[in-house]
Amino acid sequence: MFELVQIGENSFYIESPAKIGLIRLEGNQVCLIDSGNDKDAGRKLRQILDKNGWKLTAIYNTHSNADHIGGNRYLQAQTGCKVFAPGIDCCFTRHPVLEPAFLYGGYPCKDLRHKFLMAQESDAAYLTQACLPEGVAMIPLPGHYFDMVGFRTPDDVVFLADCLSSRETLEKYQIGFVYDVAAYLDTLERVKTMEASCYVPAHAAVTEDIAPLAQYNLDKVWEIAERILQLCEKPRCFEEILQALFRTYRLEMNFEQYVLVGSTVRSYLAWLKDGGKLGVSFEDGMLLWRRLV
């Protein structure tokens, strides 16, 4: 873990729970794509930088999930590097309590205020194309999270952040986290036809052919949607739908899974309602979902 792997003349990734990108710039300068999940990850990244005599100039966050921004604060304090994050995710990076609050739908209890869902705050600025080093392109990848982006390096390496999960992860957890289902489907379709010399997903193996994994992720989204529609053949409240999905996929309920899967299921429900496939009714003080088509 935290092994530096070269995949282009100036493009590297660091093997970690969420892969971290590194781009070598002019002289001894480098930038990072994401920073790992906590201060310890930041320390390990600093050791890699020191070992190679590199100076960190900037961290470009793909999005604001805690496992991608957790090393920001440590590295920023140690090196003085700049931190950039895209769109709404910049606000979450500056104020990380927003992540568990968003997932829970209210003030998060202590069970949710930990490093896996809430990183330390860092002084992030809004990411734009103009902030990036010459030759590095920003790729919009919305759907998994608010304004998530990926990056294409001058070596034609594409860092894909969390826009798809590995087969192993989906087989184990079945329901991958999605914020905007329509945007996620569009992103996966674009990634499926993307051309590059190499692809680096944050939570899947590095590959030269991303299309099969993108299709597998697409198929899983449609499978989940169909299961929800089947469950709503008769009117059901959200908790009943969530319970049925946990039972169907034999998932273990805890606070983290409740908010992560629960938030995703709500996103599916909203997408299906906006698409005219689900309707709602309010009966006896409950919101009930029912299939329309």
Q: Would you state the pLDDT for residue 139?
A: 98
Whether residue 60 contacts residue 33, with contact meaning beta carbons closer than 8 Å, is answered with yes
Q: How many alpha carbons fall within 13 Å on the CB side of residue 133?
A: 23
- Does any domain span residue 210? no
pLDDT tens digits for range 88-118: 999 999 999 999 999 999 999 999 999 999 9
Q: What share of the chain is helix, strand, coil (3-state, %, to 5)?
A: 40, 20, 40
Q: Would you state the pLDDT for residue 1?
A: 85
Of 263, 189, 179, 260, nearest to 219 (Cα)? 189
At 42, which CATH number?
3.60.15.10
Domain C-terminal end among 162, 183, 198 = 162
Number of domains the chain is built from:
2
pLDDT lower than 70: segments of the chain: none
Is residue 156 domain-shared with residue 261, that is, in the same domain? Answer: no
Location of structure tokens 């590295």: 75
Domain C-terminal end among 162, 190, 217 = 162
Is residue 124 domain-shared with residue 267, that is, in the same domain? Answer: no
pLDDT averaged over every residue in the chain: 98
| Distance, CA of 72 to CA of 36 (rounded, Å) | 8
Is residue 109 domain-shared with residue 242, that is, in the same domain? Answer: no
Diameter of the chain measured on Cα atoms: 68
- Does any domain span residue 60? yes
Is residue 149 domain-shared with residue 283, that is, in the same domain? Answer: no
Of 188, 127, 183, nearest to 163 (Cα)? 188
pLDDT tens digits for range 188-211: 999 999 999 999 999 999 999 999
- Does any domain span residue 33? yes
Is residue 27 domain-shared with residue 156, that is, in the same domain? Answer: yes
Is residue 18 domain-shared with residue 109, that is, in the same domain? Answer: yes
pLDDT tens digits for range 21-38: 999 999 999 999 999 999
Domain C-terminal end among 112, 127, 162 = 162
Whether residue 201 contacts residue 163, with contact meaning beta carbons closer than 8 Å, is answered with yes
| Residues 248-275 as b or e (16 or more Cβ within 10 Å = b) | eeebeeebeebbbbbbbbebbbebbeee
| Distance, CA of 14 to CA of 22 (rounded, Å) | 7
Domain coverage including residue 285: 231-291
At 267, which CATH number?
1.10.10
